[in-house]
Structure formats: C-alpha cells, structure tokens
Structure 1
Amino acid sequence: MIREESQKKRTVKSESAGYDLVVVGGGLSGVCCAITAARKGLKVVLVQDRPVLGGNSSSEVRLWILGATSHMGNNNRWAREGGVVDEILLENMQRNPEGNPVIFDTVLLDKIYQEPNIKLLLNTAVYDLEKSDADEISSVKCFCSQNSTEYILTANLFCDASGDGILGFLAGAAFRMGAENKDEFGEKFAPDQEYGELLGHSIYFYSKDTGKPVKYIAPSFALADITKIPRFKSFNAKEFGCKLWWLEYGGRMDTVHESENIKQELWKVVYGVWNYIKNSGEFPEAETMTLEWVGSIPGKRESRRFEGDYMLNQQDIVSQHLHEDAIGYGGWSIDLHPADGVFSNKPGCNQWHSKGIYQIPYRCLYSRNIKNLFLTGRIISASHVAFASSRVMATGAYLGQAVGMAAFIAKKNKLQPKALNEKGIMKSLQLELMKSGQHIPGMILTDAEDLVQSANITASTEMQLDEIPFDFMKHLDISAGQMIPLQAGKIPSFTFSLESSEETTLQVELRISGKSGNFSPDELLEIQQIPVNKGPQVLITGFGAKLNENAYVYLCFRKNPAVKLGFSNTRITGVLSVFNSVNKAVSNFGSQKPTEDIGVDEFEFWCPQRRPEGHNIALKIDPPLNPFLAEQIKNGIGRPVSEPNAWVSSISDQNPKIYLKWADQTSISRIELCFDTDYDHPMESVLMTHPERTMPFCIRNYTITDGNGNLLFVKKDNYQSLNIIELKETVLTDELTLQFEHPSAEIPAALFAIRCYS
C-alpha cells in the first residue's frame, strides 16, 4: 500500500541517462538511424511521441513506404533503397505480403527490440533542452504520458528525425517554412501564392464489407455538402486507405501549431465522404459496407525545413548534380500539392519526374548553426521544391541510415557533424555506408581490407546470354522493350518470334539512355520498319549502330494490335522488359510533356510490369553476350547500373559454385554476400498485396566450405539482400567454395558481391 500525506507540490518521477546518440522521432528515418548507429556500437536512445513506430507508415496513419521506385512508374530501374530500410521491407514481405499495417508495426518494433544498444521510449515527447553553449545541445527533456516520467537524456550527438523538427526548433537551429521564390535558387517550378506554399495533411479511412446491410448515421460535424469538394465525383466505395492520399487539407494554415485544427477539418471531410457513399444512393454496392477505421492523427507532409551547409534544390534533382559528399539518393518525382488540398480546383498533385535518381549530399543532414545536431527525414536542408521529392519515407529512411553511420564516424574520430566533410573522413563514411548496403550513385565500393580483391575468382559456370527462350505469345497492345546489357562496340543481331493477323509493318527501335547510369531511353540510335506477313514467323534485326561504352540498350517494339510477340518465362538478374505504359498514380501518361518552362525534361516512360506479368521478350542474340562473369562480384557495385554487375550461373548447372583462391593461407572471420532481391520491386508496405514473400531472384540456400572441404556455414531460406556471416572461429585457408541452389527452375543463381575480412 502507498499512502502519502498532502503536500504543497509534487514533481513527477525523473530519470537521467547518458548516451552516445539521442534520436528524436520514431518514424522510418529515426528507426533506420537508430538501428544503424546501434549496430556500429553506439549507445542510442530513440524517443517517439506516439505509441507505435513508423510515423506515416504506422497503423496510426497507414501510408505505404515509397521512394525512388515510385510504384514502378518512372524510369528509375533497380532503384529501391538498400541497407536497413531494404532489410525492413524484405522482412515485411516475408511476414506481411498482404500489407496489414498492424503487422508492419510489429516488424518495426521487432527490429528495434533486437538491438541491445537501443533504449526505446514510446509515448515520450521532447519539451525542452539544455545547451552547453549557444551552438551546442547538452541534453533534452522528455515526458512520457503513460508512465508519468520525465527523462533527461544527455549525449554528445543528437539527431532530429521528428518530422516537425521539435529538437532543432527548441535548440534555435535555423529553419524555413513555406516556399522560396523562383529567384532564390533559380527554381522555375517554385509555386505562386495561388497554388500555396505548404503541403497539407491527409487522413485515411478503411471500409469493410460485412455481408449484411449496415445503416450509417453521420455525426453532426460531418461535411453536409460533399459538392464543396471539387473532386466529389471521384469518390467510390472501392477505394480506401492511402489510395485516398488526396483527402488533403491545411496548406494555408500553420501545419505545426494548427495541426489539431487541420485534423478536425479532415474528420469533417472523411465522415462527410462516408455519409455520401452510404446514403446518397449513388453506391448501391456500399449497402453492406461499414466504416472499419479512421485515422486518429493526420499524415503530415510538410512543416519546418532546417538549414544545413547546403540546400538541395530543383536543379540538383532534374540535372542530377554530383556531390563529393554524396551519401544517398532520391528519385521520387518533384511532387507538389495545392495548399487548399481537397477543396482546390487544381489537380491533387503536380508530379514531375527526373530522368534518373539524384545524389543527396551530406551537407544537407546537419544544422548549419547547432554544431552537434543531425537532421534527417523530411526536415533536411532542402528548398520547398526539392523537398517535394526528398520528403517521401524511403528516401527519409535512407538518409536516416546515413546519419546513423555519420554518428558512428563522428564518435570514432571525436568530431562534430560538420567536420566529417573533410575528404578523408567523408570517404570513410561513404565506404561504411556502401558496405552496409547503401547504394550511392556514381560511387564504387573500394575496400582495401576486403580479401576478395586479392583472390583469384572462378565459377563452375558463367551464363552466356545467347537466348531468352520462347514460351508464349502476347498481343503487342502497348509498346514493349527489352533491356539488354551490351559491351562497347557493334550491336549484335536479335532474332524474335511473332504472329500477325494481317500483313503489316512493325516498327523496331534501338534506344539508349543519353546519360550513363540512367534508364530513360531518350536517345534513339536507329529505327527499322520490318515487313510482317500474316501468320507465325521468325524475324531478325541487324543494326549498324555502335556503342561507345558498356550500357543497357532498349530493343523497342512499337505497339501493333495485329501482332503477337514472343515472350519467355525465364527471368535473369539484370535483364528486364519495359513497356511504354501509363501509371496515373504517379502522373505517368506514357510520356512527360511540360506545357510551360518549369525546369523539367520531356521524355518517354518505359517501365516494367509487376509480377506475375513483366515477362522478358524471347530473343536469340548473336554473337552471345558475356555480362555475367564471376569477376563481377568484386567490382564494388551491388546492383545493375550500366551493366548487371552480377555473376549469374548457367541454368543447366546443377550445382553452381564460386571459388575464391588465394596465393597464401589467409585468415577469414567474416564473410558478406549480396544477393538479388529485385531492387526494382517497390515493396509498398501497406494496402497493396504482393505476389511473393521472397523475391524470385534471391538465392535461398547455400553452403560455404574451406580449402580442405570443411563446412564453414550453411544457410537455408534466405530472403535478405545482405547476409553477414561471423564465423565462430577464424579460419586459416587458401580457398573458399560457395555452393548455391538456383532460386527456381526458370531463374538461375546470381550474386552481386562477396567480401571477406580477417
């Protein structure tokens, strides 16, 4: 029993603790930051003011995670973010391909609970801080409403991943809110006052068919006249969740301090919409449906943006500027929304894509005037226009990983964030990020400690790409293209099968990206008009063009309804079909054609189809190609770029193997393997369902033996991109043999990289 006499005043329970890194904000960027730092040995506390992790991806908001892949609706091939966010998405695919947001909550919690170096504080809000100097934070004060406890957290390094930037705001960090004018950064897409300066909030709802009639009586505050929403005719009974992203409001208001008012207005809209669906008589299919869930907090897009030593801008995205301190990339469109949201007469969004992914510099990830404050997520140093692209969650998570690794490098070298810009230190940061699975466009992992670099590498077989075997015909209702990795020099001939219902002409084009490393086939090398007879036939191309460097070429077959083209069930790492199709969800209408000069490019979209579609076009290639040599596993690029960057075995090889041979006995204690988990698949975390739990290119089962045949490691049922193997005992050997199983009968074993360390 506890009994206390009356007192004049009491104080809440208070706990103080010291850490290497305090991360404020448990959204996806904060989660990835905390995990990255903790795995490198830092003592981390993760402070989240909500009961669950994930921010806008959590069950409280239920927005799918997206980044550079953009629903597979742009030309950014193999662009899914790597590292920790990739690990999380692959785990979610394994546990939750149905896209249940509650299950995704547990995936994130599980990842945090597995890290002994992380202290997690849920339902805990930062409200104050102390500073050791005008430009340095010494501690933050937080309060947990659920256990009535104050936490005083001290550290040398702090990271603001809070979305609204509460830590940076309290610390006095320089920030902006609203849109810059066109002149400040020379951004032609900067919005005017009519369009508005801020993106608003969204609240989603889920519906469910009960199988019996359900009556709905709207609350008194529900919007009575749904026609006040210009797009009211767009509502239907089938869409729910984040497909209703355009239920947006609040961009004319203070999206920090008036957030609750915005939420109340959005509740009026949501319940008014449901009343319209249920009771207007326009949707008889809604008779048996009920409202299962409505968001209790809004999904917030924009508030404060903090100033670093560099501000990302529109030209960085469109022109794909290079930065010596690049630590990651973005690839979502420049996606601005009208400030009036659902009440605007303008389209719900205004998306403009670049021709490829763009680098994001480290200088955007720390405060320019608070020397121990990192920034990540949507509050990084970016203009309003650039923020429209960098704000999405997978990009924010990628930047969170970069901050977590930067915190490790900073602690190791006893430096503040800004000092990591020194050339030697920055290279260390970039190396550590790439080793952890973080692709940085234009950079190659060169690690002097990697023992594989000095090994002789051979394989039991190396696939020759001489044929993508024919299996079936498909109507050429939309233009189709096959991406083929070629080496510099003469273009080989391509033989293909088709069937036509009439005599016609088939236009075949040879295209290439005008910029190395991009996947927008914007440069036309050659066109052939091929006469086609009625009935089945086999045709051959003979192009005279030559390549100046290794690159993907696009063999494009323009749509012809009279023609059926041959396709294959065989799928191969780094070989992909694309289609000049439409994806309205990301403003892809087959091509991008700005009607005015807003500083973006005009080009066509050639995008893959989601499985079980997306078959390769059946081809014979003469002379055969050899892009899959075993030596590729040490080239330092862990995904296809200008070539596949992978070893691929022959599908006929029953026991595909890689052999690593050293001149002398070598000590090995750690082995890292990088597998193909289809970086083209966006893996939306909620709502959308996916055809597989494990990516079909991923090697599931493998063994590792030493030069004496001793079994060192066995793996079953792998589904992750990066496998890190810490051997129980250091092995002294001059040879390793890695034996793999093919993922399936129609997909050969493939590997991007092997690294070994003593």
Structure 2
Amino acid sequence: MHTMILEGIESGKRKSHSITLASDLVIVGGGMAGTCAAITAAREGLKVTLVQDRPVLGGNASSEIRLWVLGATSHMGNNNRWAREGGVIDELMVENMYRNPEGNPIILDTILIEKVHLEDNIKLLLNTSVYELEKRGEDQIDFVKAFCSQNSTEYILSAPLFMDASGDGILGFLSGAAFRMGAESKEEFDEQFAPDHKYGELLGHSLYFYSKDTGKPVRYIAPAYANTELSKLPRFKTFNLREDGCRLWWVEYGGRTDTIHNSEDIKWELWRIIYGIWDHVKNSGQYPNVENLTLEWVGTIPGKRESRRFEGDYIMHQKDVVEQREHFDAVSFGGWALDLHPADGVFSDKPGCTQWHSKGVYQIPFRTMYSRNIKNLFLGGRLISASHVAFGSTRVMATCAHNGQAIAMAAKLCKERNLLPSDLLASEPMKALQTLLIQSGQYIPKLSLGLENNFLQDAEIQVSSELELISLPVDGPWKSLEFSVAQLLPVSEGQQLSVKLSIKSKQKSTLKLEIRKSQILGNYTLDELVERKEIDVNEGEHSYQIDFDFKSNTTQYVALCLMQNDELEVKCSSTRLTGVLSIFNKFNKSVATSSIQSPPPGIGIDEFDFWVPERRPNGYNLAFELNDPLKAFGKDNLRNGVFRPTVKPNAWVASIEDKNPQLKLSWSSIKSIKEVTLFFDTDFDHPMESTLMGHPESEIPFCVKSYRIKDGNGKLLHTQEANHQTINIISFEQAVSTKELIIELDHPSESVPAALFGLICK
C-alpha cells in the first residue's frame, strides 16, 4: 500500500540516500576488460562489485559506441595464425556469433548483461560513477564512493582489492598512482617508432553513425552547428558512402588536446563533422541513390582511444612487441599492430593510422597489470603499464579483455593466500596463476598446462582412430594463382615432402613452388626460404608430382607455396581439418597497404611478407596427395596442455572414415571423478568481429556439436546435442566412481572430422 511522504523544511542540507557494500574485489569500468574480469572472478568464488558509469556494458563495444571487439587476429590481416583470445572473452565472442552473426550491437549488449546477471557473485551497478575514495595509509585504497544518477543513491564500496578498468583511470588518479600521458621520447625505451610532436603524442576519439534506406524520399536539414566546409578535410576525397558505422574510425579528433577533461568539446567537434558529412552526402548532388537514405543513428559519446597510462613494475615498450620478448610472469598475449594515429585526426594530411605488425604474437607480463605504488590496485583495460608505442598494440578490446581475466585470477590467489598483487611474482604463486589461467582457456604463448591434479596424468588413452593425413580429396573449387597460395602443413621431425597437385593451365607454362617456414618456431611469418622447385605445366587439367629434398629437423609448420601465375589454377578440397589451413600472399586493406610490410628504415620494425587466410565460405585447403602421411593428429596431443594449434595442431583428430569416434581413458584403480572439461575447436583463426561486419555462419564448422560421456559399464553420464562453445565443463551431481571413462564424439559434418584439443578430469 502506498504511503504518502511528507517532509518539512530542512534547515541544514540533506544527504543522498547511501548504501555501503563490501566485496572481495571492486571493479570500476564495465567495458570488455572489466566485464570479463568480473565474470572470471565471480566464477572463482569472489564477491565482486562491478561499477559502470554507463547504462550498458561493453564500453567501446557497446551499442552506445559500436566498435567491433578485436585483438591479435587483426581482421585475419596479419601473420598471427590461430591467435584469437581464449577464456571468457572467447566464450563471449563465440556466443555473440552464434546468436548474432549479423553483428547487431544491441544483441551484444544483451549477451554481456546476461552473462553478468547469471553470476550470483556479481553486484552490478550501472549508471554509477566513482567520484571519490579514501586510502588506507599511503599505498592502499580503503573504499571508494560512487553515485548513481538514476536512483539518486551514493554507494560506499570497500574491498581488499580494486581493479581500475575505467579507461581514463579514475581510481588510479584519485589514489595517487603513478601515471603518464603522451608519448615518450625515442631515447627512454630505445623506441625508434616513437612519434615526434609534429605527428602528435595522443590518439583521439571517434564517433560513428549508421544510415538506413527507408524506401521513400527523405530530406535532411543539417543542424546549425554542422561543419559544412568538408572540402577542408584532407580525407574528404577518400570518403566512401558504402562505409559507415565503425568503418569510419578515421573520423577522429582530439589528439592535440586533453582527452580526459576536454572530452565533451571533442565530442561536439565530431558531431559537427559527422552531421556535415551527412549534409554533403544528402544535399551536394554528388552521390547517386541517396534520396531514400536517412541518418538512423549517431553516437552520443565518443569512442576513446588514449588518455592516462599507469605505471606498473614493468613498462612494456616497442621491443617487447617487435622482438616478441619472453617474460617469466607472462599471463596474457597481444598481437595487434603497433597502431598509432596522427594527433590531428580527421584534420591531418597524414594517413588515418600507421600500423606496423610484429612477426607473431607477444607475451604480456603480469607486472604491467598492477600499480607500482598503490599496492592493492590492479590496472585493467587500456590503463596497463605500457609506453605510448606499445600501447598502440595493447589497447585493443580483445587484448584488454584477455588481460582482465588474468587480473581476476590473480585476485583469486591474492584472496586465498592473503597476498597483494606484487607478491604473486614469486615463483610458486606465479606458476599457480599461470596454471589457473591456462586451464580456464587463457592462452599464454610458450606455456602449457601440466597434468597435476588431472586424472589424465596416469590414464591409459585409447582412441578408435587417429587421422593420418595422406591426402585431401579433389572435390573443391579451382583457385586462380592470381596471388601466391600456401598450404600450411604440420610436419614431424625427419619428415620429407613429396606431393601431388592438380593444376589447370590456359597454355603451356611454369609452376614455381617453394617450401617456406618461419625463422622463429611458433610464428607463421614465412621468412625463411627452404627450397625452390619449378615444373613445366601443360595446357589443360593435369596432376603433377613434386618431390622436395627438404627434411624437417623438428616438429613445425611448413608452407607449401605455389607462386603467383595468372595462367594457372590449383584444385582445392572441401575437407576442412583442425590445424590445417591455406594462406595467401596478399593483404587486408583494413590493416595493411601492401602484401609486403615495408617500413621506412630506422624505426625498428621488420620487413616481411603477409600470408593471410581467406574467410569462409572461401579459404579452402588445397587438394593434394602425399607420399608420406602427416602424423600430427594423435592421441598424445591430449596430454600436452596446449589447446590450440601452435607448432603443431595440438589436437587429437579422428579419421573421417571412423563412423563412431571414441576416446577411452582407463586407470588401474577406481577414480572418483567430479568434473570433466573438454576443449573443442572453434577456430581460433577466425576473429569473430562483434559488431557491424557480420559473419556468414553462426557456428564454427570444426566444433563438435554432439557427444556422449559414459563410464566403463556403458552407463550414460552426460549427453550433449547442440554444443557451439569452445570449453565444455561437465560437473556431475555425484562423483562418478569408475576405472574407465568413454567419450564418444560425432563428426561435425561429412567433410570435417571430430577433433579435441584436450581434457581435464578431476
């Protein structure tokens, strides 16, 4: 029953409604980094308060800004194969593609909110801004104060640990954490790519917009504040009407000003530009077929790139990225280009960005993820400890999200062991942190999961079949050699290559072939020529046998390269396999300008060729026959603790002829099994951009959709009929006592054999 409230005159001042909340971890910032950290921490048993100053989660990925989530895969435009981030961000990206292949940012909003809502350990505060804090001594945060404008409530939030993933670093700033803003000199970290003042020292903001065809004429009258002098914009001549939304990332401004305190002014300038662009499109008469277009959506808050960067116990720099330096405390990885933008943004006469790629992915150390002087403050998202140049790579959302998972797992160990973040640098806790991360799906280059606390350690493994790759059927399309094409093949030590290919030629010609590999084991940059061959090709369709002298000295990927010749076509196969891929010596214009990265001398960047895949439904493997089979798909891969292809496929792959693929684990004594975790193949080479671009499929063709788990007596313990996720965790209500565990997998399709990267039984 409603009771009327009557309150008389207050001679003093009233206080806001106030709520005090205590938790194990307070996370400020609900972008992809804060969201993934909150989900991870909650699943590990921590009570989490997630504070977000916007009405939705996702930050730059949300429907308010609408930038796609991306990371080390870089639109499949670099040489980082199978490099999509793992763990919770992978779960979110896979789920988004399953529900939302069209790339609708509203649907992504709902997925993020749903995932957080499902975690009972998360207290989510939307529309809530932190504005003050109190410290415990000089070097720790005691509690923070935040205010929600929608319910007129002040929150006092206390915890032993805090994570700042707010973008501008409100916690770090208020607490007195050391930070920097702007670009370092070339000398400070020996960074030859460091920009000078003419280029600029900060990345700006961007606003995006969508247009829509209404089916009837729509007029447009620009607001008075629109910039209608677009001819003064140097990039005006390159404007492409077909590009909208976040494809117009280059509509950028603000790098010459304070990107924190002048953010509203920057937004107004971007509004002026965008409404001016639309006025020109609609009213200049220079664009056909625009009569029925309307301006459906324009961003109301800008997508921010850079402001404060905070200092940890280590500051990442250019050589960490380019040289792929290894760190004892590696907990994450990156792979986006060193991507700097001119500070003048859309008003600059320089290209919208300058992207230089490394030859492979690089490790990110834990020492970058906490403040060097505020002892209980984690640094999340784009706040991590990096120079301006390294930040050009580490700032992208999927990388930030992957780092966020590492922070959350570190918080778990800090709580359990009563430690502060820097205490985890000791050998044993760091090993424990890395182990927890890898077993949760996090990928850390060069590291693998041991078999401790996994019943797989002393199990006998039997499988119904193992793929021995001797050929791929000649049942796919013909592919023109307008670009050089390479087939990545996982070879074992001592392996030689003798291959038969089907070639079609318009006339007598010459086919040039090469065997290439990477100078650095685990990279996929084909920078080492091993052997060259030439064969004469007759007119018409014929098969050709090519014998190479090459003999592999280790387990590795090598590339069988068919060099460019417009007169020739090669036959492809419709069969797709885990860990087998074709790549092309061309480039993706989203992230490169040529098929060869040719940096100017003296900036500390390598020159090399790009060999990139094609997206499905293209991207067929070549059809081929080998004299000696590739035996890289055996059951021993299930024990190696790596859950994606690296120097080899790292997966047990069943033979496609095996109608009932089966894995049996046997023990000499009865085991009490509470949980089984399975790691499937959702194609870590596919970037799964979250917004706008769209995808031709909602499920990955390599992923096992249906399987069954039985005990040694044939009792059905679990059945799955519609899986699309990478990691499946099966928890039994009552522990299963058995000496045998049987896992029956169904092939994903007639042309894709069942594969499993690994499993954990405990």
Q: Partner residue of 2:496?
A: 491
Q: Partner residue of 1:688?
A: 693
Q: Partner residue of 1:6?
A: 9
Deviation per residue, 1:230-283 (Å, 9 max, x gap): 010122322110000000000000000000000000000000000011111111
Q: Partner residue of 2:151?
A: 147
The match for 1:463 among 463, 467, 483 is: 467
How far apart are 1:607 and its partner, in Å? 0.7
How far apart are 1:588 and its partner, in Å? 4.7
CA contact (8 A) 1:588 1:605 kept: no
Q: Partner residue of 1:130?
A: 134
How far apart are 1:596 and its partner, in Å? 2.1
State the distance in 2 between where 1:585 and 1:337 align. 14
The match for 1:213 among 207, 217, 222 is: 217
CA contact (8 A) 2:707 2:745 kept: yes
Deviation per residue, 1:176-231 (Å, 9 max, x gap): 00000000000000000000000000000000011111100001110021011101
Runs of 4+ in 1 over 2 A off after TM superposition: none
Deviation per residue, 1:363-395 (Å, 9 max, x gap): 000000000000011010000000000000000
| Aligned residue type for 2:259 | T
Asked whether 1:699 is paired with 2:668, we answer: no
Asked whether 1:615 is paired with 2:644, we answer: no
Name the SS for the 2:188 alignment partner: helix
State the distance in 1 between where 2:656 and 2:495 align. 27
Q: Which moved more, 1:175-184 or 1:3-12?
A: 3-12
Structure 2 counterparts to residues 343-382 of structure 1, below 5 A = 343-382=347-386
Asked whether 1:169 is paired with 2:173, we answer: yes
Unaligned 5+ runs, structure 2: none
Q: Partner residue of 1:305?
A: 309
Structure 2 counterparts to residues 495-506 of structure 1, below 5 A = 495-506=500-511
TM-score normalised per structure 1? 0.99
| Aligned residue type for 2:678 | L
Q: Which moved more, 1:533-542 or 1:186-195?
A: 533-542
CA contact (8 A) 1:237 1:285 kept: no
Structure 2 counterparts to residues 531-570 of structure 1, below 5 A = 531-570=536-575
CA contact (8 A) 1:458 1:631 kept: no
CA contact (8 A) 1:702 1:714 kept: yes
State the distance in 1 between where 2:520 and 2:316 align. 21
Q: Partner residue of 1:575?
A: 580
State the distance in 2 between where 1:705 and 1:239 align. 52
How far apart are 1:29 and its partner, in Å? 0.1
State the distance in 2 between where 1:100 and 1:325 align. 37
Asked whether 1:658 is paired with 2:648, we answer: no
Name the SS for the 1:108 alignment partner: helix
| Aligned residue type for 2:592 | S
Deviation per residue, 1:8-35 (Å, 9 max, x gap): 2111100001100000000000001111
How far apart are 1:286 and its partner, in Å? 1.2
Deviation per residue, 1:128-158 (Å, 9 max, x gap): 0011111010000000000000000000000
Unaligned 5+ runs, structure 1: none
CA contact (8 A) 1:333 1:352 kept: yes
Asked whether 1:746 is paired with 2:751, we answer: yes
The match for 2:398 among 388, 394, 398 is: 394
The match for 2:125 among 115, 118, 121 is: 121
The match for 2:608 among 603, 609, 629 is: 603
Q: Partner residue of 1:15?
A: 19
State the distance in 1 between where 2:175 and 2:512 align. 62
| Aligned residue type for 1:178 | G
How far apart are 1:587 and its partner, in Å? 1.4
State the distance in 1 between where 2:368 and 2:754 align. 39
Deviation per residue, 1:517-556 (Å, 9 max, x gap): 1011110001111111111111111111222210001001
| Aligned residue type for 1:147 | N
CA contact (8 A) 2:338 2:357 kept: yes
State the distance in 2 between where 1:226 and 1:269 align. 8
The match for 1:732 among 728, 737, 740 is: 737
| Aligned residue type for 1:710 | K
Q: Partner residue of 1:77?
A: 81
State the distance in 2 between where 1:335 and 1:540 align. 44
State the distance in 2 between where 1:208 and 1:587 align. 29
State the distance in 2 between where 1:541 and 1:379 align. 53
TM-score normalised per structure 2? 0.99
State the distance in 2 between where 1:501 and 1:224 align. 54
CA contact (8 A) 1:327 1:359 kept: yes
Name the SS for the 1:182 alignment partner: coil
| Aligned residue type for 1:98 | E
CA contact (8 A) 1:60 1:297 kept: yes
The match for 2:596 among 591, 595, 599 is: 591
Deviation per residue, 1:592-613 (Å, 9 max, x gap): 0112221010100111100000
State the distance in 1 between where 2:109 and 2:630 align. 45
- Aligned-residue Cα RMSD (Å) equals 0.7
Asked whether 1:708 is paired with 2:713, we answer: yes
| Aligned residue type for 1:717 | A
The match for 2:62 among 47, 58, 71 is: 58
CA contact (8 A) 1:28 1:393 kept: yes
State the distance in 2 between where 1:204 and 1:448 align. 49
Q: Partner residue of 1:431?
A: 435
Asked whether 1:86 is paired with 2:90, we answer: yes
Q: Partner residue of 2:683?
A: 678
| Aligned residue type for 2:552 | L
| Aligned residue type for 1:133 | G
CA contact (8 A) 2:497 2:550 kept: no
State the distance in 2 between where 1:306 and 1:186 align. 20
CA contact (8 A) 1:504 1:532 kept: yes
Q: Partner residue of 1:34?
A: 38
CA contact (8 A) 1:637 1:645 kept: yes
State the distance in 2 between where 1:25 and 1:745 align. 45
Q: Partner residue of 2:323?
A: 319
CA contact (8 A) 2:496 2:628 kept: no
How far apart are 1:754 and its partner, in Å? 1.2
State the distance in 1 between where 2:98 and 2:159 align. 36
How far apart are 1:447 and its partner, in Å? 3.4
| Aligned residue type for 1:405 | M
Q: Partner residue of 2:452?
A: 448
Deviation per residue, 1:57-115 (Å, 9 max, x gap): 00000000000000000000000000000000011011111000011100100000000
Asked whether 1:383 is paired with 2:355, we answer: no
How far apart are 1:581 and its partner, in Å? 1.4
Q: Partner residue of 2:513?
A: 508
Q: Which moved more, 1:710-719 or 1:346-355?
A: 710-719
CA contact (8 A) 1:431 1:447 kept: no
CA contact (8 A) 2:228 2:277 kept: no
State the distance in 1 between where 2:240 and 2:627 align. 52
CA contact (8 A) 2:451 2:639 kept: no
Q: Partner residue of 2:283?
A: 279
State the distance in 2 between where 1:631 and 1:319 align. 31
Name the SS for the 1:110 alignment partner: helix
State the distance in 2 between where 1:117 and 1:707 align. 37
Asked whether 1:108 is paired with 2:112, we answer: yes
State the distance in 2 between where 1:287 and 1:447 align. 64
The match for 2:334 among 319, 326, 330 is: 330
